[in-house]
Structure 1
């Protein structure tokens, strides 16, 4: 068995002897990995198979993140009668942030939880945020 770098293996997965898992791979929970898995992909199932490329998954998650953040704002407004704050949107700050040096403390803490803070900060500086800032995001939601 050989597992590449930057691999996430979901809970209760089984990897059989002699299998090679490539670099930058996500293995879904409860998967039975009984054959080689290529680099840069998402794989899952019993037996485990490639579901999509990592780039496809990234695009899918970006769309889902925007939808999830929008739903959160709508429910927050409905239930609390006010705008959500930095704490309420702490999971979504990448939608409207691209400068790790100018983040509120809570968001800096969230970035540090990833593990490799220097790399995360480098990636954040290169990524293109979807909104100018949090207020711009909030104004975009009806």
Structure 2
């Protein structure tokens, strides 16, 4: 969003570019870059691991805020971004979570990754009871 990419620059594959960046030089594949002028922040693998570590904290915060605001337990729609924490195969997916798997046209790859996923919690209901 609101990023300027200057003529003659190349951006590699699997790159995340931060908002409001000025891409004034080539960016290699598999990294996260941002800034004005742009700089490489970290390898994509590092970013992925940081995001996985933060997910558990974020879903816990969201559940607490949801309970505070709405006075009830969140359902799979409210927690749709976090379904990987509770799923490691097709049989455990609700309709909402199945829709998430098809959003960007890489459904086969998403299901392959889900089957390889090591879920963090046994299921959503048990997670909600624990926190």
**Given the two structures, how large is their TM-score scaled by the length of structure 1?**
0.83
Deviation at 1:100, TM superposition (A): 2.4
User: Hey, what's the Cα distance between the residues in 1 that align with 2:104 and 2:83?
Assistant: 14
Identify the residue that residue 19 of structure 2 maps to in structure 1: 29
Matches within 5 A, 1:1-142: 11-141=1-131
Q: Give the root-mean-square deviation of aligned CA atoms.
A: 1.5
C-alpha distance in 1, partners of 2:49/2:87? 18
The answer on whether the counterparts of 1:114 and 1:120 sit within 8 Å (CA) in structure 2 is no
Partners of 2:6 and 2:24 in 1: CA distance: 5
Which runs of 5 or more structure 2 residues have no equivalent in the other structure? none
Instruction: List gaps (5 residues or longer) in structure 1.
Output: 1-10
The secondary structure found in structure 1 opposite 2:115 is helix
Structure number with higher strand proportion: 1
Instruction: Report deviation, 1:63.
Output: 2.6
Q: 2:104 & 2:93 partners in 1: Cα distance?
A: 15
Large movers: runs of 4+ above 6 Å: none
In the TM superposition, what is the alpha-carbon distance from 1:68 to its structure 2 partner?
A: 1.8
